[in-house]
């Protein structure tokens, strides 16, 4: 009879291999100007007209690691939606949120490759183009803001953890903690809602459709991507979504967190997490509820 520890190890190995079974690599998804890797989680029982979530890793991360960290795949298996977990390998695996091409549409940045992953997935799996979502943590949250600003027509909603407003790192010599101009992460890029709105709109000039809904989370004690970046994101999206702060709900969704409601709370909410540093733990259940999945 095997010892308990052997059983435990075998069980853990089995669980982790089950966990990754649905994640596979796609190489032919279309133009990929910055050589991103596309990993896709397609549940064996796919819903008809499935929804899609694009889930963006932190600096130093990978799509595979973000899949393990967030557990969106487990929910995908239950509900039949698809998750794309891409990887960037440049600049310490940080997303391109600083360059002119990366902050423009169809201009050869990471955002263009990510948009093509979505277009490919909609086509290949006959997915519901009105149910495409984006989420991410840290650098992935910065990129979430950039995707929403440069490809607002692709996404219905977004959630993100511990990032910055779209355009905060524009012109910085890099996008990683080691290479970036620290002004943005330090919470020193402060603009009015009108200025942030103009910054984002300049990334897709002439766009006259609606912008995706956003739920953004930030730790008050963040000492890497400082807390003022939360307020700057809320200013930017309150301008783009045309909603202003209405009220707070304290201890939502858990003790110490404050849910900040804009308008009627269907387009923009912020979650301010007291005593929480970098990064706010991903809340997959709240994300799925926000997406309506
Ligand atoms: C942005 O960061 C990249 C590395 O990620 C770097 O190559 C580039 O020079 C940076 N700055 C600008 C303004 O493009
Ligand atoms: C703006 O709206 C017009 C009229 O509905 C449309 O033809 C045009 O393509 C839109 N522009 C963009 C950039 O979406
Ligand atoms: C709402 O909550 C935030 C985060 O705790 C706080 O900064 C802000 O002052 C609160 N606003 C009101 C009106 O209570």
Distance, CA of 185 to CA of 229 (rounded, Å): 7
121 Cα: distance to centroid of ligand 3 (angstroms)? 40
**What's the pLDDT score for residue 118?**
98
Is the full-model pTM beyond 0.85?
A: yes
Closest CA to 134 of 160, 109, 168, 108: 160
Among the options 16, 68, 92, 138, which is catalytic? 138
Atom of ligand 1 nearest to the CA of 180: 2
- CA angle, 148 as apex, 147 and 150 as ends, to 5°? 60
**What's the pLDDT score for residue 22?**
77
273 lines ligand 3 (CB under 6 A): no
- CA angle, 273 as apex, 269 and 279 as ends, to 5°? 100
- CA angle, 151 as apex, 62 and 83 as ends, to 5°? 40
Q: Work out the end-to-end distance of the chain between its first and last CA atoms, rounded to an integer number of angstroms.
A: 44
**What's the pLDDT score for residue 21?**
53
- Concerning whether 162 is annotated as a catalytic residue, the answer is no
Q: Whose atoms come closest to the Cα of 209: which ligand?
A: 2
Atom of ligand 2 nearest to the CA of 205: 13
248 lines ligand 3 (CB under 6 A): yes
Choosing from 248, 251, 261 the residue with most ligand 3 atoms within 8 A of its CB, the one to mutate for a pocket test is 248
Q: Which helix (H) or strand (E) holds 45?
A: none
Distance, CA of 182 to CA of 184 (rounded, Å): 6
Fold topology of 6-291: Rossmann fold (3.40.50)
258 lines ligand 3 (CB under 6 A): yes
228 lines ligand 3 (CB under 6 A): no
174 Cα: distance to centroid of ligand 2 (angstroms)? 34
Residuewise pLDDT in 10s, the chain (293 residues): 444 444 443 443 334 444 445 799 999 999 999 999 999 999 999 999 999 999 999 999 999 999 999 999 999 999 999 999 999 999 999 999 999 999 999 999 999 999 999 999 999 999 999 999 999 999 999 999 999 999 999 999 999 999 999 999 999 999 999 999 999 999 999 999 999 999 999 999 999 999 999 999 999 999 999 999 999 999 999 999 999 999 999 999 999 999 999 999 999 999 999 999 999 999 999 999 999 99
Atom of ligand 2 nearest to the CA of 208: 1
């Amino acid at each position: 009879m095997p010892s308990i520890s052997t059983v435990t190890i075998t069980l853990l190995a089995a669980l982790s291999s089950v966990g990754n079974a649905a994640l596979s690599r796609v190489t032919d998804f279309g133009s990929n100007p910055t050589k991103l890797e596309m990993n896709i989680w397609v549940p064996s029982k796919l819903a008809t007209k499935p929804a899609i979530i694009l889930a963006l890793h932190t600096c130093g991360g990978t799509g595979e690691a973000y899949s393990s960290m967030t557990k969106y795949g487990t929910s995908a298996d239950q509900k039949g939606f698809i998750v794309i977990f891409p990887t960037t390998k440049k600049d310490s695996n940080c997303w391109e949120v600083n360059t002119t091409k990366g902050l423009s549409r169809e201009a050869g940045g990471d955002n263009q490759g990510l948009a093509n992953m979505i277009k490919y997935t909609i086509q290949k799996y006959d997915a519901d183009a009105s149910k495409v979502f984006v989420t991410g943590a840290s650098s992935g949250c910065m990129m979430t803001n950039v995707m929403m600003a440069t490809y607002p027509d692709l996404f219905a909603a977004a959630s993100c953890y511990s990032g910055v407003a779209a355009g905060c790192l524009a012109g910085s010599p890099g996008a990683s903690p080691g290479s970036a101009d620290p002004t943005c992460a330090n919470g020193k890029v402060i603009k009015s809602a009108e200025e942030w709105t103009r910054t984002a709109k300049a990334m897709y000039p002439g766009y006259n459709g609606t912008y995706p809904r956003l739920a953004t989370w930030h730790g008050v004690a963040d000492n890497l991507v400082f807390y003022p970046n939360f307020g700057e994101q809320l200013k930017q999206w309150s301008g783009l979504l045309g909603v202003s702060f209405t009220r707070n709900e304290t201890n939502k969704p858990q003790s110490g967190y404050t849910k900040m409601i804009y308008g009627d709370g269907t387009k923009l909410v912020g979650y301010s997490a007291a005593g929480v540093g970098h990064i706010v733990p991903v809340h997959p259940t709240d994300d799925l509820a926000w997406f309506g999945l």
